[in-house]
C-alpha cells in the first residue's frame, strides 16, 4: 500500500509535542524570571506604595494613626512620614535602616511638597542621593522663592527644625521609590511621604539564572522521560490494533483485537472485534451461498437436461408430464434468479416504493388463491382468519411479496399436519398479520439469524417444497424499507409465528366473497 508523502508515527508526534511544550514553558519561565523581573518588581512596589497611601488617607482621623502606620509599614516594608504644615511630623516610621527619611533634609521634603503640588497633589518617582547633591535645595531658597507654595489654610510653613531633630540626612541607598501626596482635610494641609528601597535585581537575576540552569537540565530530563513514557503508552495500543487490522485486511477473520489502555481504544477494539465476527459470518454465509446456489442451480439444470435428452432420444416420452417437469424446473431457476436480483436491489437501496392505499385483506385473499394447486395435490391446509377489511398505505406489489414469502416459508417448515394459519388482527391503530406454522420451531438463540440470507435452522431438514433460501431476507428488507415493525416468535416443538404490523387507515366489512378457509 502506497503512502502519500512522508508520514511520522503517532508515538513521535506525541513525543515531540511534549518536548516542544516543555521548551516553551521553560522559555517563558526564563523570560519572566530574568528579562522581565525588574519591570515586574518595580510595578509591584509601585502598586504597594500607592495602596499604603490610600489606607493612610482613609484612616487620617484614626486616633491610633501612629500604631496603624507602624503596622502598615512593617507589613509592606515602607517608611512613612506624615507632616502637617507649620508643625512637627504627625507620623514618622523608619522601617528600614537606610530609609530615605534618614538622608533627605527638610529642604528636600519641601521640594517633594512642591513637586506634588505642581503635579496636582501627588508625585511618584524614583530617587537617589546623587539627584539631590547635584542641585541642593536650601530652606531659605524655598521660603524666599516660593513662600506661597508652603502656605496652608491656617498659615505657616513646614517646621524644618522639627524634621532635623527627627534624624533626616544620614545614610544613603542606591535607589528608592517615593510617593509624596498632599491631603487637605478639615481645613488643614498634610504631606504624606512614603518611600521604600528598590533592591538591585542584578544579584537576584544572577541567582535565579543559576537556579534556572539546574532546573532546565532537570526538567529537560524529566520531560524526555515523561514524553517517552506517555508517547509509548498512548501509541502502543494503537499499534497493536493496527497490526491486528492488517491481519483482518488480509482476510484473517479469526483475528482478535486485544489492545487496551484508553476508553476510545477499548471501544475501537470492541467495534473491530464485532466487525471481525460479522465478516466471519459473512464469509460463512458466502460459502453457504455458493454451496446452496450451486446446488439449486445444478439440480434443476440436471433435471431439465435429463428430461430433454429423454424426450429427444426415446420415442413416446414426449409426454405432457415430462414437459411439465422441464417447465417446473425452469421456473425454479427463474425464481432463484429473481430472488437474487430482488435481494441485491434491496441491499443496494435502489428500490423505490410505489405507495398507495391498499386493502391488505383483499391482497392476502388473492395470494391464497395461488395456493389452490398445492393444497389439492399435496394436502396442505391454509387458513386465513380476518374479521374485517383493513385499508393501509404501502407498496402493494412488495407487500404481496412479503406475504407470499412468509407463506412459502411456513409451508416449507410446517409440521406433519401440513397446516398453515394466516391471521389478521387489529391492535389499536395497527393491524398485525401473522403467518403461523406447526413445525419443530426455532431455538431462542437462533431467532436473530432466521432473517439472514441462506441461513438454515436445520441444515439437514428435508423441505417439502423447495425454496431459494432468500425469502425471509427479502421480507426483512421490504419491511425495513416501509419502516414497519416485524418479528418472529417460536416455541421449540410447537411451531413458529412470523408477524408484521401496519398503520390502519380505515376499517370496513368484508367485501370480497372468497373462502376464508381453504382445505
In this structure, which topology does domain 353-456+467-518 adopt according to CATH?
Heat Shock Protein 90 (3.30.565)
Length of the chain in terms of residues written:
519
What pLDDT, on the 0 to 100 scale, is given for residue 453? 60
What pLDDT, on the 0 to 100 scale, is given for residue 332? 73
- Yes or no: domain 59-200 corresponds to CATH 3.30.70: no
Cα torsion at 261, 264, 269, 274 (round to 10°)?
150
What pLDDT, on the 0 to 100 scale, is given for residue 201? 62
Which residues in the chain come in under a pLDDT of 50? 1-2, 5, 97-104, 129-130, 132-173, 459-465, 511-519
- Yes or no: domain 263-346 corresponds to CATH 3.40.640.10: no
pLDDT tens profile 395-415:
988 898 899 889 988 988 888
pLDDT tens profile 28-57:
887 777 777 777 778 888 888 888 888 888
What pLDDT, on the 0 to 100 scale, is given for residue 189? 86
Alpha carbons 419 and 507: distance in angstroms, whole number: 28
State the helix-helix crossing angle for 37-58 and 65-76, rounded to 10 degrees.
170
What pLDDT, on the 0 to 100 scale, is given for residue 295? 63
Are 191 and 179 in contact by the 8 Å Cβ rule? The answer is no
> Where are the chain's structural domains?
10-37+203-247, 59-200, 263-346, 353-456+467-518
Alpha carbons 392 and 402: distance in angstroms, whole number: 15
CB atoms within 10 A of CB 329: 19
Closest by CA position to 222, among listed 402, 46, 387, 18: 18
What pLDDT, on the 0 to 100 scale, is given for residue 288? 67
What pLDDT, on the 0 to 100 scale, is given for residue 513? 40
Rg of the chain's alpha carbons, rounded to an integer? 51
Task: Say if residue 24 is exposed, middle or buried (CB neighbours under 10 Å; 0-12, 13-18, 19+).
Answer: exposed
What pLDDT, on the 0 to 100 scale, is given for residue 362? 92
Amino acid at each position: 500500500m502506497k503512502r502519500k508523502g512522508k508520514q511520522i508515527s503517532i508515538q513521535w508526534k506525541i513525543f515531540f509535542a511534549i518536548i516542544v511544550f516543555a521548551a516553551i514553558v521553560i522559555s517563558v519561565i526564563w523570560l519572566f524570571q530574568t528579562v522581565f523581573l525588574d519591570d515586574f518588581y518595580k510595578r509591584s512596589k509601585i502598586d504597594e506604595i500607592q495602596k499604603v497611601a490610600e489606607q493612610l488617607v482613609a484612616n487620617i482621623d484614626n486616633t491610633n494613626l501612629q500604631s496603624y502606620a507602624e503596622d502598615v509599614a512593617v507589613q509592606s516594608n515602607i517608611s512613612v512620614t506624615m507632616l502637617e504644615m507649620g508643625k512637627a511630623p504627625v507620623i514618622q516610621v523608619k522601617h528600614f535602616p537606610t530609609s530615605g527619611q534618614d538622608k533627605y533634609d527638610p529642604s528636600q521634603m519641601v521640594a517633594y511638597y512642591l513637586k506634588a503640588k505642581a503635579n496636582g497633589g501627588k508625585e511618584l518617582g524614583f530617587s537617589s542621593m546623587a539627584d539631590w547633591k547635584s542641585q541642593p535645595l536650601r530652606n531659605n531658597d524655598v521660603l524666599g522663592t516660593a513662600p506661597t507654595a508652603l502656605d496652608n489654610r491656617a498659615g505657616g510653613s513646614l517646621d524644618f527644625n522639627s524634621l532635623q531633630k527627627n534624624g533626616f540626612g544620614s545614610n544613603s541607598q542606591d535607589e528608592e521609590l517615593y510617593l509624596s501626596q498632599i491631603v487637605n482635610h478639615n481645613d488643614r494641609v498634610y504631606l504624606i511621604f512614603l518611600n521604600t528601597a528598590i533592591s538591585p535585581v542584578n544579584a537576584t537575576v544572577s541567582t535565579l539564572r543559576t537556579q534556572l540552569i539546574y532546573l532546565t537540565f532537570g526538567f529537560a530530563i524529566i520531560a524526555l522521560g515523561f514524553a517517552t513514557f506517555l508517547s509509548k503508552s498512548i501509541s502502543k495500543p494503537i499499534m497493536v490494533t493496527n497490526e491486528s487490522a492488517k491481519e483482518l485486511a488480509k482476510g484473517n477473520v479469526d483475528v482478535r483485537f486485544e489492545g487496551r489502555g484508553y476508553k476510545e481504544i477499548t471501544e475501537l477494539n470492541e467495534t473491530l472485534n464485532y466487525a471481525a465476527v460479522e465478516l466471519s459470518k459473512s464469509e460463512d454465509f458466502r460459502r453457504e451461498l455458493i454451496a446452496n446456489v450451486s446446488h439449486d442451480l445444478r439440480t434443476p439444470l440436471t433435471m431439465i437436461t435429463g428430461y430433454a435428452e429423454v424426450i429427444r432420444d426415446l420415442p413416446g416420452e414426449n409426454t405432457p408430464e415430462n414437459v411439465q417437469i422441464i417447465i417446473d424446473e425452469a421456473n425454479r431457476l427463474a425464481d432463484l434468479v429473481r430472488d437474487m436480483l430482488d435481494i441485491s436491489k434491496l441491499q443496494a437501496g435502489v428500490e423505490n416504493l410505489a405507495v398507495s392505499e391498499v386493502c391488505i385483506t383483499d391482497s392476502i385473499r388473492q395470494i391464497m388463491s395461488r395456493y389452490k394447486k398445492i393444497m389439492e395435490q399435496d394436502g396442505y391446509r391454509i387458513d386465513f382468519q380476518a374479521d374485517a377489511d383493513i385499508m393501509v398505505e404501502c407498496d402493494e406489489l412488495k407487500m404481496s411479496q412479503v406475504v407470499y414469502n412468509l407463506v412459502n416459508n411456513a409451508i416449507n417448515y410446517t409440521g406433519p399436519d401440513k397446516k398453515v394459519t394466516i391471521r389478521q388482527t387489529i391492535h389499536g391503530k395497527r393491524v398485525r398479520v401473522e403467518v403461523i406454522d406447526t413445525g419443530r420451531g426455532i431455538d431462542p438463540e437462533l431467532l436473530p439469524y432466521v432473517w439472514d440470507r441462506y441461513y438454515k435452522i436445520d441444515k439437514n431438514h428435508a423441505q417439502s417444497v423447495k425454496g431459494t433460501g432468500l425469502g425471509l431476507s427479502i421480507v426483512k428488507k421490504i419491511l425495513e424499507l416501509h419502516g414497519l415493525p416485524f418479528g418472529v416468535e417460536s416455541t421449540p416443538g410447537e411451531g413458529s409465528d412470523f408477524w408484521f404490523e401496519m398503520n390502519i387507515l380505515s376499517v370496513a366489512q368484508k367485501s370480497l366473497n372468497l373462502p376464508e378457509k381453504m382445505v
